[in-house]
A and B are shown apart, each in its own frame.
Chain A
Amino acid sequence: MPRAKDLASLRDQEVVALARAGREAAYREILRRYERPVFSLIYRMVRDRAAAEDLAQETFIKVLNALESYRPEYKFSSWIFKIANNAAIDHLRRREVDTLSLDGAPGARTAEEVDATSLQATDRRPTPLAALESRELGSAIERAIAKLRPEYRTCILLRHVEGRAYEEIAAALDLPLGTVKTYIHRARIELRESLAHLKDG
């Protein structure tokens, strides 16, 4: 049976097999391998460190508790990125609903009704966490990525930041290969448009 330091040289499928056999070290190895890419993907998707941490934690708990249901004929990375992406997209949808509710209840028609049902934000000063986020995600390219549609954002991040193959991205996002290529192409065009002014400057 391989020792903890030997686990690093094993393929994902082998590590998963050891984890299924009850080896705690194999669980830690999965966590060590995917902690950074999963957290980075989620963080760039939701652009909120605290939420990204919660979602990454949720992703890993889901993945590690469901290793029995993982089918080894598929790439493990596709599976974990699929769960991470779904968690991020769900969060963005929830946040969108919450943001709408800030503007008052959906049934509010008059200005008074909107005022009465809208939530009041009392303090808009940046927190230390927000300052950290703006430092981390503040570069021009990060801002341009943030402007992309979520599905384009996931595709471009997985392709160019994580260096995943098109087929792997298609498997992770449950999309046809052609759609993934189109999304990446369109994302590149949008990035080009967003960043064109830098080239001029």
Chain B
Amino acid sequence: MDKYLEQDELDRLITRDLSRLPSFVPSLGFDRRVMAMVRLPEPQALIALRRARAWALQPRRALALAGAYAACAVIALALAVPWALQHSSYISFGVGLMATKVIGAARETGMAFAGSVLTSRSFQALRSMPVLREHFVMLFAVATVGYAAAAVTLHRLLKSPGGKRVPATPAR
């Protein structure tokens, strides 16, 4: 009897220890390595678009589609032009009104911006500075040197790496 009790106790302990075993994690970057090897399916919309393009780009179908498009365009023009001529006075009035509104809004914005600049502290400080001819010369010189330095740096960065010259024919 004791033997069975002991066995049960050991079984219980083993089951407990098994359930307490830790889980292991792979090294850092495991998911990145896996994802780099996985082919992701394309979204359905993109697949549909690609299929539609492939279908439409076949020569005969493309020709038929172009013909249909041209016919639709001619019909649309045939309907739109007489209508526009018939309602030209309304259209010109609407366009004029819109243009006036847009120009007015742009003017208001420009005036507001200019006003804020002219009344700003930095502009007042700049205005009160005694500006000399030498200052302009110095500013121009700094800008020129900076531009030249940037050009040289870019040239160095973009220069192809120098290599050892290899003779065209092997030396004998």
Residue numbers of A with Cβ under 8 A of B are: 20-22, 24, 27-28, 31-32, 35-37, 39-40, 43, 52-53, 56-57, 60-61, 64-65, 68, 136, 141-142, 156, 160-161, 163, 188, 191-192, 195-196, 199
Contacts and interface: CB of A to CB of B under 8 A. Distances in A.
A161 B14 contact: no
A65 B38 CA distance: 6
B10 A53 contact: no
A39 B40 contact: no
B38 A161 contact: no
A174 to B, nearest CB: 23
Interface SS, B side:
helix
A53 B18 contact: no
B30 A35 contact: yes
B44 A57 contact: no
B19 interface: yes
Nearest to A196: B10
B34 A31 contact: yes
B132 interface: no
Contacts of B17: 141
Given A57-B33, A160-B15, A160-B18, 15 more contacts: A20-B41, A24-B35, A31-B35, A39-B30, A53-B30, A56-B26, A57-B30, A57-B34, A61-B34, A61-B38, A141-B14, A142-B21, A161-B19, A192-B10, A199-B10
Contacts of B18: 141, 156, 160-161
Contacts of A32: 31
B7 interface: yes
Nearest to A31: B31
